[in-house]
Structure 1
């Protein structure tokens, strides 16, 4: 069990995107580009990062480039607490088998980085319509095929077996219209997988931001927190008018959004949560907001663990 001071709270490197400033794919960029981006989050007080594949796809790097990445991490004084695999579903009709191989490689790489969790899920690439929207979640995207659910369970269990052999956990990120797209669906899916190394990422921010009816967040967290082993944590302003059916949402720092994370984090600890946190934010100065969120989480933990 971590202390409040030692609990891993990472910055998701998603805001830096998949290309270097000169347009070069970040996976092909010089190590100096990686270093400059890591340095920005280190200067904000982060000790850990999550090198999501929406930034640097570790699972597709050569062994030599992986070692180069590890060297940059050490030079910048950063550690990796989790590795997230984003929008690369293992049951993608076109790329599912390739994504499965990549997930296995990440599970092999994770212990080398000291990461305790590989995070994955069933969300798929944003559509052209979503790319045009102010916020991509304002437009409906991929919807999982119910007929592929047995294959999703089979492949998730396969990854869970591999994770267990490597002494780490696999976490499934909750995301709308996927097999883990509602609290009930997520709990049912992870129960059907039935593997001790597989849990949920209760990223209910992915749901709270949607312009559609939503149960109270307290009820949703109560269902999923007992099964959670990792946490993409973010918050949103949310407003809805039942008379007109209108909705509004926008990213907010943890302290100011509609979810009371002081209460939710304390409840998670009561239910036995012991996984890393990974701060996310969309829009504005994302990593700056993530740094504020890190300090907020640390204070909540300090208060809760006294």
Structure 2
């Protein structure tokens, strides 16, 4: 019997391609923002060829919210012509509490929400993670080097709560959900802190992007994925999914991680998704993968999700 509270089945569930493999600034110094429709089409052909029918126009690749309305409409028409829908928009490294650009990024966040409504996207992902440091940019895997940390300052926490609540109320008016991305050393950097934060925000459309991959990849002790997922499952919304191999040597303290296809890494996504579904999870997924042909691995991850999602 079909679940009447669930919008989608395994065949229809929106599973979007991330665009993290594609930079905003190209090798010749030009920006994706200024490309022609034909040039955008060349990039999106990869996504279509990988079998995706959903796209997240991740703003590390293109900032739809900063395009003139006519150019944005051209982009939307292109995606529709290619058979791609856009169920969500993810933002990256534009924290509303950034010490230099927080006000600018807050205004940008409002534009992203308006853009999501204009293109028919029902979800937006925000985070509190900052720009990569020079040391992170030099590392093979940037997460092996410590990055920008959110301050342990109650006043900044309160500011973060107030600003996300402001964005959340704007989104609520437009029927859009906000998902706050779990990321190390931020206010959403552990399950306990993430739950406390969204509870402080106190809006039903503001939840957690349970991107546990961002945490299990760290070369340091982290909470096991299963209790983390149990804590955040009641608050799960738009979900970035990726996985990692993780080896821990208890005698030396050595931790080594490496990107893994979704079904092979340390997180059991079959179990994690069932936890979220038990709490009524009904949001899109985004497939990400770092290293190698990340788009093709993401496509394999999409196929895995379709095998384990509910039949009806």
TM over 0.5: yes
The aligned runs of 1:1-306 (5 Å cut-off) are 1-20=7-26, 22-147=28-153, 148-301=156-309, 304-305=310-311
Q: Taking structure 1 as the reference length, what is the TM-score of the superposition?
A: 0.97
* Secondary structure class of the residue paired with 2:38: helix
In 1, Cα distance between equivalents of 2:68 and 2:101: 20
Alpha-carbon RMSD across the aligned residues, in angstroms, is 1.1
In 2, Cα distance between equivalents of 1:162 and 1:66: 21
* Displacement of 1:138: 0.5
Q: Deviations over 1:4-46 (max 9, x none)?
A: 1111000011111113454411111222221111111111111
* Displacement of 1:90: 0.5
Highest RCO, 1 vs 2 (Cα 8 Å, sep ≥ 6)? 2
In 2, Cα distance between equivalents of 1:151 and 1:32: 42
Any stretches of 5+ residues in structure 1 without a counterpart? none
* Secondary structure class of the residue paired with 1:146: coil
Any stretches of 5+ residues in structure 2 without a counterpart? 1-6
Q: Taking structure 2 as the reference length, what is the TM-score of the superposition?
A: 0.95
In 2, Cα distance between equivalents of 1:39 and 1:160: 34
Q: May I ask how many residue pairs the two structures share in their alignment?
A: 304
* Secondary structure class of the residue paired with 1:123: coil
* Secondary structure class of the residue paired with 1:50: coil
Give the match for residue 4 of structure 2. none
Query: Hey, which bits of structure 1, 4+ residues long, moved more than 6 A?
Result: none
In 1, Cα distance between equivalents of 2:214 and 2:37: 32
- Report if aligned partners of 1:279, 1:293 keep a CA contact under 8 Å in 2: yes
